[in-house]
């Protein structure tokens, strides 16, 4: 049967299961990546597994999130990661070398390979024709140890691209259009594959912008073909030998179909507080703004930066606007300097930050109260910027730069500036900020700082659980709600007890105390619970606070896997309307949960306060049932 690109890659890597959408499969992982905000935990878990050297073809640890270093914590964690890498066979990308996804695309990604990363934007690698998937740190640790990665075989959505983008319309507008069509939960259980004549008109970094932000669809990943454009990109990176052609078979049939004519697209913006609240920039034109931030793993490539520089050149950032620029990598930063583009930005008054995640994860540059901030990033969840009432709009580099000089929302198509940026024939290549592991790791001493605290491990599932509903939340709760990031708390990613004080801070500041007072309980959620980041802290911290189960209308993929890995039950309502029956504070009882889980998917919960019985579902594979019974993946692995 004719196959799509992802089906081919999965087939080549299949370890167990059948490739039938909805059933559990496991695949071999060729490459892994971690970043420093999830990496410390992932490497602690890897160490706990007692394996000497990673078994992958290539594993890389990036330092890009926690680069403010206000206090000893981050520097200690970085030193820990650096020494672990040296010992166990992992490449270490030093702080200053750039954002994990951008650097991985430039220097390590290979078409047709599988990549598992402890960051939800790992699908950026799909721009090169890789099967690149985001996961929790523990899953990545297992993959580094040579274990297969388990996932539900996704459906394949085919997005046919025709035509060519007009000037000032950008790859960002393509993915915003897809988000408008599919919504933030439209991609759950699916891989999005792009094909058609329009694909040839997009460069690899443009494709990577689209696959990167495919994470916001809730999709397992997104994939572009690997073709002549890919070959030229790899050659320009001095890696022509890594090129492998990856094309879908002739006559392949997709499970779902979408068609987008690139030539009809206009500049778009995602309005607060969701990446799918998309409108045309022209509808917002004239609205006064306070801040513009360019960069992030979505839009920090050389071409993105050059476009911004050309629009800023000879202009001044408006009086009412503060503009920041974070280049994606040292390669991009260096080439901006060499070409003079950096000077144009500095002259215009842009504030140049280091090449790291920075404002995207709330590490500084929070906007003013109720401030309107235009960002070329991928997420505008409530509070993520560090300003609780900040109004974040997600836009293209062109829209960002045009609006920065106008001081208000500006459709770049109306701007009287002509820009033209060529894809470089040769990128500047200097991998001096990537440290190779030691040939022989035995003598390497791993250095641990006092910020590293032991992480919680679940307990075997008891026969029954009776606890209160600690918190009831609505639809599309993100992991940024559950476990916020930002400059104040991100440095504590290896200190779960400290982090626990901030759990659900955005929804209800009293939650951590309430959880402690009743020695744990349940969380009630709506649709798409746990969307967004891959941070397993959004499961580990609730685990530490005694959360036994999350009962929701539906779950986002990575978070559900993280809950299971931690031994927290992810349960859904058999009838979604039953969500309305439970109130915060109700006493709930899972009377026979252990037996029911062993027997199948049906689970009953008794609301003792209301005196009613509600039917729930634990949608899990056999393997996941055993993980939950054991109280998490670590216990399960030990027992086996
Ligand atoms: C994010 O964009 O939210 C992050 C920070 O990169 C996360 C990972 C994390 O929380 O450390 C992600 O996307 O997975
Ligand atoms: Fe970093 Fe932001 Fe990308 Fe997450 S989304 S990896 S914080 S740049």
pLDDT tens string 481-515: 999 999 999 999 999 999 999 999 999 999 999 99
416 class by beta-carbon count within 10 Å (0-12 exposed, 13-18 middle, 19+ buried): exposed
DSSP SS3 for 471:
strand
Q: What is the mean pLDDT of residues 129-148?
A: 97
Probe target for ligand 2 pocket from 117, 212, 377, 490, with the most ligand atoms within 8 Å of CB: 377
Contact (CB, 8 A) for 402 and 415: yes
Contact (CB, 8 A) for 571 and 614: no
Q: Is 538 in the pocket of ligand 2 (CB under 6 A)?
A: no
**Of all protein residues, whose CA lies closest to atom 7 belonging to ligand 1?**
533
Q: What is the mean pLDDT of residues 584-603?
A: 98
Distance (Å, whole) CA 241 – CA 567: 43
- Judge whether residue 640 has pLDDT over 90: no
194 closest CA partner among 117, 245, 290, 128: 128
Q: What is the mean pLDDT of residues 411-421?
A: 95
Q: What is the mean pLDDT of residues 36-65?
A: 96
Q: What is the mean pLDDT of residues 606-610?
A: 98
272 class by beta-carbon count within 10 Å (0-12 exposed, 13-18 middle, 19+ buried): middle
Q: Is 183 in the pocket of ligand 1 (CB under 6 A)?
A: no
Q: Is 535 in the pocket of ligand 1 (CB under 6 A)?
A: yes
Q: Is 143 in the pocket of ligand 2 (CB under 6 A)?
A: no
pLDDT at residue 356, as a whole number: 98
Domains of the chain from N-terminus onward: 5-264 (3.30.499.10), 268-412 (3.30.499.10), 465-639 (3.20.19.10)
pLDDT tens, 436-474?
Answer: 999 999 999 999 999 999 889 899 999 999 999 999 999
Centre of ligand 2 to C-alpha 15, Å, is 31
Q: What is the mean pLDDT of residues 278-282?
A: 99
- pLDDT band at 638, cuts 50/70/90? confident
Q: What is the mean pLDDT of residues 210-230?
A: 98
Q: Check the CA dihedral 488-491-493-498 and report its sign.
A: negative
Distance (Å, whole) CA 102 – CA 327: 10
- The strand pair at 14-16 and 24-27 is best described as antiparallel
The DSSP 8-state label assigned to residue 427 in this structure reads: -
The ligand 1 atom at the shortest distance from the C-alpha of residue 37 is: 11
Probe target for ligand 1 pocket from 123, 534, 536, 539, with the most ligand atoms within 8 Å of CB: 534
pLDDT tens, 567-579?
Answer: 999 999 999 999 9
Question: Residue by residue, what is the 3-state secondary structure of 138-172?
Answer: HHHHHHHCCCCEEEECCEEEEEEEECCCCCCCCHH
pLDDT at residue 550, as a whole number: 98
327 closest CA partner among 316, 318, 315, 339: 339
pLDDT at residue 639, as a whole number: 87
Centre of ligand 2 to C-alpha 359, Å, is 9
Distance (Å, whole) CA 620 – CA 597: 9
Of 132-136, 214-218, 415-419, 474-478, least confident by mean pLDDT is: 415-419
The ligand 1 atom at the shortest distance from the C-alpha of residue 215 is: 13
pLDDT tens, 106-123?
Answer: 999 999 999 999 999 999
pLDDT at residue 488, as a whole number: 92
The ligand placed nearest to the CA atom of residue 37 is: 1
Q: Where are the alpha helices (DSSP H) in 166-276?
A: 171-182, 204-213, 228-236
- Judge whether residue 133 has pLDDT over 90: yes
Q: Is 222 in the pocket of ligand 2 (CB under 6 A)?
A: no
Q: What is the DSSP string of 261-290?
A: EGGG---EEEPTT-TT-EEEHHHHTT-B-S
Q: What is the mean pLDDT of residues 513-521?
A: 97
For residue 9 the two structure tokens come to 């890659």
The ligand placed nearest to the CA atom of residue 67 is: 2
Q: Is 120 in the pocket of ligand 1 (CB under 6 A)?
A: yes
Centre of ligand 1 to C-alpha 443, Å, is 33
Q: Is 357 in the pocket of ligand 2 (CB under 6 A)?
A: yes
Centre of ligand 2 to C-alpha 357, Å, is 5
pLDDT at residue 454, as a whole number: 85
Q: What is the mean pLDDT of residues 199-224?
A: 98
For residue 422 the two structure tokens come to 């060529």
pTM for the model: 0.98
């Amino acid at each position: 049967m004719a196959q799509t690109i992802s089906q081919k890659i999965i087939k080549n890597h299949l370890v167990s299961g059948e490739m039938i959408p909805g059933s559990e499969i496991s695949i071999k992982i060729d490459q892994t990546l971690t970043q420093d905000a999830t990496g410390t935990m992932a490497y602690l878990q890897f160490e706990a597994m007692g394996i000497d050297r990673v078994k992958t073809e290539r594993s890389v640890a990036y330092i890009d999130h926690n680069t403010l270093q206000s206090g000893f914590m981050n520097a200690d964690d970085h030193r820990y990661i650096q020494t672990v890498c040296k010992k166990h066979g992992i490449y270490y990308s030093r702080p200053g070398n750039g954002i994990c996804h951008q650097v991985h695309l430039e220097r390590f990604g290979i078409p047709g390979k599988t990549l598992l990363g402890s960051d939800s934007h790992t699908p950026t690698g799909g721009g090169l024709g890789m099967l690149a998937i985001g996961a929790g740190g523990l899953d990545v640790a297992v993959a580094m140890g040579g274990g297969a990665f388990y996932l539900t075989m996704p459906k394949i959505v085919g997005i046919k691209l025709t035509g060519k983008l007009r000037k000032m319309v950008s790859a960002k507008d393509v993915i915003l259009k897809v988000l408008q069509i599919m919504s933030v939960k439209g991609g759950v259980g699916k891989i999005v594959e792009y094909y058609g004549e329009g694909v040839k008109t997009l460069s690899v970094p443009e494709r990577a912008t689209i696959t990167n932000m495919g994470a916001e669809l809730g999709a397992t990943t997104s994939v572009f073909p690997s073709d002549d454009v890919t070959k030229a990109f790899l050659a320009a990176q001095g890696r022509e030998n890594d090129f492998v052609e990856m094309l879908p078979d002739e006559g392949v049939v997709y499970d779902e179909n979408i068609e987008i004519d690139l030539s009809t697209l206009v500049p778009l913006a995602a309005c607060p507080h969701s990446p799918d609240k998309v409108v045309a920039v022209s509808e917002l034109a004239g609205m006064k703004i306070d801040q513009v931030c360019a960069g992030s793993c979505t839009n920090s490539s050389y071409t993105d930066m050059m476009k911004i520089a050309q629009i800023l050149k000879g202009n001044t950032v408006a009086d009412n606007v503060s503009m920041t620029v974070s280049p994606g990598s040292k390669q991009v930063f260096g080439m901006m300097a060499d070409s003079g583009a950096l000077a144009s930005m500095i002259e215009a008054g842009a504030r140049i930050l280091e090449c790291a995640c920075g404002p995207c994860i709330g590490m500084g540059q929070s906007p003013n109260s109720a401030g309107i901030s235009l960002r070329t990033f991928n997420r505008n969840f409530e509070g993520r910027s560090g300003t609780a009432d900040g109004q974040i709009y997600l836009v293209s580099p062109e829209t960002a730069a045009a609006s920065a000089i106008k001081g208000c929302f500006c459709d770049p198509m109306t701007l009287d500036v002509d820009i033209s940026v060529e894809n470089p024939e040769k990128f500047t290549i200097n991998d001096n900020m990537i440290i190779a592991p030691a040939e022989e790791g035995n003598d390497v001493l791993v250095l641990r700082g006092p910020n590293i605290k032991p992480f919680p491990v679940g307990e075997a599932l008891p026969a029954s659980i009776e606890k209160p509903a600690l918190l009831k939340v609505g639809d599309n709760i993100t992991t940024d709600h559950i476990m916020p990031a930002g400059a104040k708390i991100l440095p504590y990613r290896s200190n779960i007890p400290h982090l626990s004080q901030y759990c659900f801070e955005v929804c209800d500041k009293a939650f951590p105390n309430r959880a402690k007072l009743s020695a744990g309980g349940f969380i009630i959620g709506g649709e798409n619970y746990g969307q967004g980041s891959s941070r397993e802290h959004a499961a580990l911290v609730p685990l530490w606070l005694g959360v036994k189960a999350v009962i929701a209308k539906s779950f986002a993929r990575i978070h559900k896997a993280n809950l299971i890995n931690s031994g927290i039950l992810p349960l859904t309502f058999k009838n979604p309307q039953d969500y309305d029956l439970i109130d915060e504070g109700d006493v709930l009882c899972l009377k026979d949960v252990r037996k029911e889980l062993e027997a199948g998917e049906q689970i009953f919960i008794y609301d003792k306060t209301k005196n009613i019985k509600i039917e729930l579902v634990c949608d899990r594979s056999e393997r996941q049932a055993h993980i939950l019974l054991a109280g998490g993946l670590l216990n399960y692995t030990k027992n086996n």
